[in-house]
């Protein structure tokens, strides 16, 4: 059950973007598993991809196509990752782009492929071919929610958000969808995200906005410390609105950038809230570090600790596990006496040991909650960061042990 997360509402169409989702048969469940996003000519595009060395065939091909031209379509399948499939997988990804190009009358290089699901299995190409023909006939500007559902794998809730802002007196819309629940860690987590706006945005600034937003959102979450082979985040600006061109020098550039940050952060936190088997949504705040890398090292050591995560699941205020994780983060010359640790607003550690005012009852009241903040004050500098994570439950093991069955 997702933590504090419900089905999205008020998801708005984006002029210049059409979508469709169908059940092609890639998934044996009969659920939707193939999504097509058609993009109007002249749109700008920014992208980030997984840093996993075994990146999937669609990732390889999408990068290649982006280096050649701007996209006119995104084809996304769930249920099969097309990863670890060698040369055959790459050829299959090429073929899927050719089928989409034929269906919507564009060049194959203008199609970006994306896949998510089981690694190492060949793509059922006949099923995919039939699905492409079907999905290309159902395109509509109003299909954002069905698309959000069509890219889901172990997700329990579709993830989508819309935001409208004024740029130079003109209203622009930003709508995004994402999938992700397990195999979530930095370097793009194990997620797919597709965000579109009708704003006119200069290419370089669009990429800048996405890179900045991803660093603060999708690359600041973890469920289980595993980085996927298939991660990607795509930001499309159709330019169909009447707004002026946005670039780094624009008056409203910061407003636009902040809106992209907010959309990405919402989607990233939705992924954590829907983490496989999660019962807790946990913010890990690290303050007063010497550097961002130091702050993130401490935050991730806490967030990745199986002992901390299982204590969270048990609602056990075993603060010694958090203390040990901080000490295990590899911070050079850390002075334990300068470190303070809090659960929400309850100080549990000060002066390097249990705070004199702390009581087990106070800690228990925090741990019984479904949303918890762990705050660590290192007392070394002025740099801070936040990482979002989950607990580790029995259901996580069940979901992943049964994943291919």
pLDDT in tens, 370-385: 999 999 999 999 999 9
Annotated catalytic residue within 48, 50, 175, 190: 190
Q: What pLDDT is stored for residue 404 in this prediction?
A: 52
74 domain-assigned: yes
Half-sphere exposure of 298 (CA within 13 A, CB side): 31
Same structural domain, 226 and 309: no
Report the C-alpha gap between 317 and 362 in whole angstroms: 9
Query: Measuring CA to CA, how many Å separate 272 from each of 176, 185, 234, 242, 276?
Result: 16, 10, 19, 36, 9
Please state whether beta strands 232-237 and 192-197 pair in parallel, antiparallel, or not at all (unpaired).
parallel
Contact predicate 24/34, CB 8 Å: yes
What pLDDT band is residue 256 in, cutting at 50, 70 and 90?
A: very high
- What mean pLDDT comes out for the span 7-23? 97
Are 191 and 285 found together in one domain? Answer: no
Known catalytic residue: 190?
yes
* Domain hosting residue 325, numbered range: 281-401
How much is the pTM?
0.93
Is residue 7 one of the residues assigned to a domain? no
Q: pLDDT for 210-233, tens place per residue?
A: 999 999 999 999 886 666 677 889
**DSSP codes of every residue in 7-63:** ----PPP-TTEEEEEE--SSSTT----EEEEEE-TT-EEEEEE---TT--HHHHHHH
Average pLDDT over residues 298-318: 94
Q: What CATH number has the domain bearing residue 341?
A: 3.10.20.340
> Do 267 and 303 have their domain in common?
no
pLDDT band at 190 (very low <50, low <70, confident <90, very high): low
Question: Quick one: 238 and 328 in the same domain?
Answer: no
pLDDT score of 352: 86
CB under 8 Å to 333, separation ≥6 — which residues? Answer: none
What percent of the chain clears pLDDT 90, i.e. is strictly above it?
82
The larger pLDDT score, comparing residue 2 to residue 33, is at 33
Residue in this structure with the two tokens 């060949």, named with its chain if needed: 122
160: left (phi over 0), alpha (psi -120 to 50) or beta: beta
- Which two structure tokens, joined as six digits, stand for 356? 């004199």
Instruction: Indicate whether 308 and 268 sit together in one domain.
Output: no
Query: Does one domain contain both 77 and 163?
Result: yes
Distance CA(40)–CA(18), nearest Å, equals 9
Q: Is residue 5 part of a domain?
A: no
pLDDT at 52: 80
What is the DSSP code (8-state) at residue 332? T
What value does the mean pLDDT take over residues 194-207? 97
Q: Which helix (H) or strand (E) holds 288?
A: strand 281-289
Q: Which of 133-147, 186-200, 272-286 has the lowest mean pLDDT?
A: 186-200
pLDDT digits (tens, 9 = 90+) for 158-172: 999 999 999 988 999
Residue 121 DSSP symbol: P
Q: pLDDT of 126-141, one tens digit each?
A: 999 999 999 999 999 9
The whole-number average pLDDT for the span 289-318 is 95
Of the three residues 273, 292, 319, the one that is the final residue of a domain is 273
Q: Sort strands 346-350 and 340-343 into parallel, antiparallel or unpaired.
A: antiparallel
Report how far residue 147's alpha carbon sits from residue 134's, in angstroms, rounded to the nearest whole number: 14
- Per-residue confidence band for 392, with pLDDT thresholds at 50, 70 and 90: confident
DSSP-based three-state secondary structure for 347: strand
Which of the listed residues 254, 273, 292 is the one where a domain comes to its end? 273
Residue 327 has pLDDT above 60, yes or no: yes
Residues 169 and 302 in one domain: no
Which of 273, 289, 317 terminates a domain? The answer is: 273
- Within this chain, do residues 126 and 205 fall inside the same structural domain, yes or no? yes
Residue 353 buriedness (CB in 10 A; 0-12 / 13-18 / 19+) = exposed
Total number of residues shown for the chain: 405
Q: pLDDT tier at 394 (50, 70, 90 boundaries)? A: confident
The string of pLDDT tens digits covering residues 48-106 is 998 888 889 999 999 999 999 999 999 999 999 999 999 999 999 999 999 999 999 99
Task: Judge if 250 and 313 occupy the same domain.
Answer: no
Residue 349, helix vs strand vs coil: strand
Note whether residue 9 is domain-resident: no
pLDDT value, residue 255 = 96
Q: Are residues 200 and 235 in the same domain?
A: yes
CA dist 118 and 279 (Å) reads 25
For the cut 50, the answer to whether the pLDDT of residue 405 exceeds it is: no
Query: Same structural domain for residues 232 and 91?
Result: yes
Query: What do you get for the CA distance between the two ends of the chain, in Å?
Result: 21
Give the CB-side neighbour count of residue 204, counting CA atoms within 13 A. Answer: 3
Indicate the number of domains in the chain: 2
Task: Please tell me the distance from the alpha carbon of residue 124 to that of residue 127, in angstroms, as a whole number.
Answer: 6
Whether 188 shows a pLDDT value over 70: the answer reads no
Rounded to an integer, the average pLDDT of 351-366 is 95
Average pLDDT score, the chain: 93
Q: Which segment of 189-193, 238-242, 270-274, 359-363 scores lowest on mean pLDDT?
A: 189-193
The verdict on 264 and 347 lying in the same domain is: no
């Amino acid at each position: 059950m997702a933590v504090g997360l419900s089905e999205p509402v008020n998801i708005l169409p984006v002029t210049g973007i059409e979508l469709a989702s169908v059940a092609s048969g890639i998934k044996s469940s009969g659920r939707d598993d193939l999504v097509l996003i058609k993009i109007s000519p002249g749109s700008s595009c920014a992208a980030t991809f997984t840093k996993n060395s075994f990146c999937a065939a669609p990732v390889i091909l999408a990068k290649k196509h982006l280096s050649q031209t701007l996209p006119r379509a995104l084809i996304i399948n769930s249920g099969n990752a097309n990863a670890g499939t060698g040369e055959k997988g790459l050829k299959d990804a090429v073929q899927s782009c050719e089928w989409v190009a034929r269906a919507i009358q564009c060049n194959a290089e203008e199609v970006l492929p994306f896949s998510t699901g089981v690694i190492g299995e060949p793509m059922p190409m006949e099923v995919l071919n039939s699905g492409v023909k079907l999905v290309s006939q159902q395109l509509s500007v109003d299909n954002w929610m069905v698309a959000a559902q069509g890219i889901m794998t172990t997700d329990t809730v579709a993830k989508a958000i819309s935001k409208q802002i004024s740029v130079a007196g003109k209203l622009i819309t930003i709508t995004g969808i994402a999938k992700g629940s397990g195999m979530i860690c930095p370097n793009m987590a194990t997620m797919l995200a597709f965000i579109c706006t009708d704003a006119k945005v200069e290419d370089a600034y669009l990429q800048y906005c996405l890179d900045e937003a991803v660093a603060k959102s999708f690359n600041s979450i973890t469920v289980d410390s595993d980085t996927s082979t298939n991660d990607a985040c795509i930001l499309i600006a159709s330019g169909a609105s009447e707004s002026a061109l946005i670039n780094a020098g624009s008056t409203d550039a910061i407003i636009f950038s902040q809106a992209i940050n907010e959309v990405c952060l919402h989607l990233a936190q939705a992924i954590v809230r829907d983490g496989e088997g999660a019962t807790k949504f946990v913010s890990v705040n690290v303050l007063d570090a010497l550097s961002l890398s130091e702050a993130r090292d401490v935050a991730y050591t806490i967030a990745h600790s199986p002992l901390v995560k299982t204590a969270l699941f048990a609602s056990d205020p075993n603060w010694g596990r958090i203390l040990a994780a901080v000490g295990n983060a590899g911070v050079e010359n850390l002075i334990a006496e300068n470190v303070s640790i809090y659960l929400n607003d309850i100080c549990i550690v000060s002066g390097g040991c249990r705070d004199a005012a702390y009581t087990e009852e106070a800690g228990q009241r925090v741990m019984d909650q479904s949303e918890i903040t762990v705050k660590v004050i290192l007392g070394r500098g002025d740099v801070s960061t936040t990482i979002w994570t989950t607990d580790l439950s029995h259901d996580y093991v069940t979901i992943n042990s049964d994943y291919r069955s």
